[in-house]
Amino acid sequence: MLRIAVTGAAGRMGKTLIQAVGNHPETELTVALERPDSSLIGADAGELAGIGRNNLAVCGDIQAVIDDFDVLIDFTVPAASVANAEACAAGGKKLVLGTTGFTDQQKAGVLACAGQSALCMASNFSTGVNLCFKLADMAARVLGDDVDIEISEAHHRHKIDAPSGTALSLGEVVAKALGRDLKEVAVYGREGQTGARDGQTIGFATVRAGDIVGDHTVMFAAEGERVEITHKASSRMSFARGAVRAAVWLADKSPGLYDMQDVLGLK
């Protein structure tokens, strides 16, 4: 049985991950982590997740439990994820990382840890979203420079980064397929007299409202027709199931950097 640690255990995604770990026949939850100053340290992780008491107390120190798990699943915030990646690398533990919003420096720090232990990092662990990445690559290569490309996304009011990591990943997939540098062609907002659209740009639009789990659309618009690739998530469980699937896949992998495309065999 693969021993799983979930950090951010009291959050929306953390609770769903705990449920997903419990539902998988090859995994068991052996560690539940929260930030050290959380009022929920010592609480029963199962009760927090709404699955009933499991007699596993939430812990605030990853070093205290580093020998109690095989793979850590982390969907928290960049600063915490960098520290967790470093702890896992030093302790020889594997990491499934779904955190988004890293600065370039933070991302470099995380990636450096892949040299010591296996790391599966993705902006989205949903099977459907990863299929959309593949379809967006195909569409960009077929449609080429004959289309204008716009990416829109919508999430709940509590999401703290924008555009979403998934939207940025979609942009990176499309830009790479077209031989463009996303940092040079991305447009993240339009207001006022912007002038005619530059055909090389890739536009992004963001919505934050209510309890939207996650909607993403890539539009390829030409004269007379357009192609849209859309994914709509109605439950965080789709992300959680994918993350647990990635953890199981990662269990026997050598040190290195992997992503959900590797897990699904889409590369």
CA 260 – CA 266 distance, rounded (Å): 9
Residues 6+ apart with CB under 8 A from 15: 9, 48, 49, 50
Active-site residue set:
155, 159
Question: What is the pLDDT at residue 55?
Answer: 94
Going from the C-alpha of 220 to that of each of 65, 145, 180, the distances in angstroms are 48, 10, 16
Question: What is the pLDDT at residue 267?
Answer: 80
Structural domain including 132 reads 127-233
Task: Encode pLDDT of 143-167 as tens digits.
Answer: 999 999 999 999 999 999 999 999 9
Amino acid symbol at 62: I
Same domain, 212 and 246: no
> Domain tally for the chain?
2
Residue 255: cis peptide before it, omega within 30 degrees of 0: no
Question: What is the pLDDT at residue 58?
Answer: 97
Same domain, 183 and 204: yes
Same domain, 207 and 249: no
Question: What is the pLDDT at residue 258?
Answer: 98
Q: Could you tell me the CATH number of the domain that includes residue 221?
A: 3.30.360.10
Same domain, 117 and 132: no
Same domain, 76 and 207: no
Same domain, 137 and 80: no
Question: What is the pLDDT at residue 218?
Answer: 98
Question: What is the pLDDT at residue 182?
Answer: 98
Question: What is the pLDDT at residue 102?
Answer: 94
Question: What is the pLDDT at residue 243?
Answer: 98
Same domain, 89 and 142: no
Same domain, 18 and 113: yes
Same domain, 240 and 224: no
Same domain, 7 and 91: yes
**Residue holding tokens 């959050």?**
11
Tens digit of each residue's pLDDT, the chain (267 residues): 999 999 999 999 999 999 999 999 999 999 999 999 999 999 999 999 999 999 999 999 999 999 999 999 999 999 999 999 999 999 999 999 999 989 999 999 999 999 999 999 999 999 999 999 999 999 999 999 999 999 999 999 999 999 999 999 999 999 999 999 999 999 998 999 999 999 999 999 999 999 999 999 999 999 999 999 999 999 999 999 999 999 999 999 999 999 999 999 988
Same domain, 115 and 138: no
Same domain, 75 and 170: no
Closest CA to 80 of 57, 97, 67: 97
- C-alpha neighbours within 13 Å on the C-beta side of residue 21: 32
